[in-house]
A and B are shown apart, each in its own frame.
Chain A
Amino acid sequence: MDFNKELDARGLNCPLPILRTKKALAEMASGDILKVIATDPGSVKDMQAFAKQTGNELVNSAEAGGEYTFYMKKK
């Protein structure tokens, strides 16, 4: 999947992946896609909750080998 920016949040724990996602999105343009890679299992629910509450769209997410990948489209 295409993306405009990548955020490596591997090894970080709650709430850092969300805070870094928020910060990365702030520097992007509306409609841009941010790819986030995390290892915190809690980030699966948290990214969904973040998207729901901020209006940014979680367009895709996947898990492979203990790594979680999210594609977040900026509002």
Chain B
Amino acid sequence: MDTKKLAIIATKGTLDWAYPPFILASTAAALGYEVQIFFTFYGLQLVRKDVSGLKVSPLGNPGMPMKMPFGPKWFKGINWNIPNAIQSLVPGYENVATSLMKMTIANNGVATIPELRSLCQEADVKFIACQMTVELFGFEHTDFIDGMEYGGAATFFEFAGESDICLFI
């Protein structure tokens, strides 16, 4: 049986959008897939050495429930419907939302991004950073974790063209 291949393009640089590429990549690798992730534009944030700056923003995201990760059950069940206008005016709103999200993640036994990322690397998932956007945003190769490769769109297509599944995230 030929090895199946999964190619992912990761373009988002927020805490919530950091999950899908790493979850899918690590799972596919566990199932025996050969996997590559091409990080471009804001997706580069996901392979920086320090990912503590990844945030989640409820602003402009009506799909995001705002629930409290602590307190009694009735309290946790409340969906805090806070208008965008208030979210954008209150300083530090994003930081509060991010720490609540991190608490929820820990409470639910969901892995952290650095954890999932190293699980991917242990499973031989190949990480490629888009060199053009690395330069565009003024990053240095030393900003990123070890084991990265750097290339352009042609590098991506070399693998993606032979892939069984190709995802743009």
- Enumerate chain A interface residues (CB-CB to B < 8 A): 11-16, 18-19, 21-22, 40, 50, 53-54
Contact = CB atoms under 8 A, between A and B. Distances in A.
Contact of A50 (B31, B119, B123): B31
B27 A54 contact: no
B30 A13 contact: no
B40 interface: no
Interface string B19-53: 00001001100111000000000000000000000
B109 A19 contact: no
B119 A11 contact: no
Query: Would you call the interface of chain B mostly helix, strand, loop, or mixed?
Result: loop
Contacts of B169: none
Interface string B101-123: 00000001111000000010001
Contact of A19 (B30, B32, B108): B30
- Overall SS of chain A's interface: helix
A53 B27 contact: no
Contacts of B123: 19
A53 B111 CA distance: 23
A12 B108 CA distance: 8
B26 A13 contact: no
A16 B23 CA distance: 9
A53 B108 contact: no
B109 A50 contact: no
Interface residues of B, number: 12
Contacts of A12: 109
Contacts of B109: 11-13, 16, 40
Contacts of A18: 27, 30
A18 B108 CA distance: 16
A22 B31 CA distance: 8
A15 B31 CA distance: 11
Nearest to B27: A15
B31 A19 contact: no
A13 B31 contact: no
Contacts of B30: 15, 18-19, 21-22, 50
Contacts of A13: 108-111
B111 A54 contact: no
A19 B26 contact: yes
Contacts of A21: 30
Nearest to B31: A53
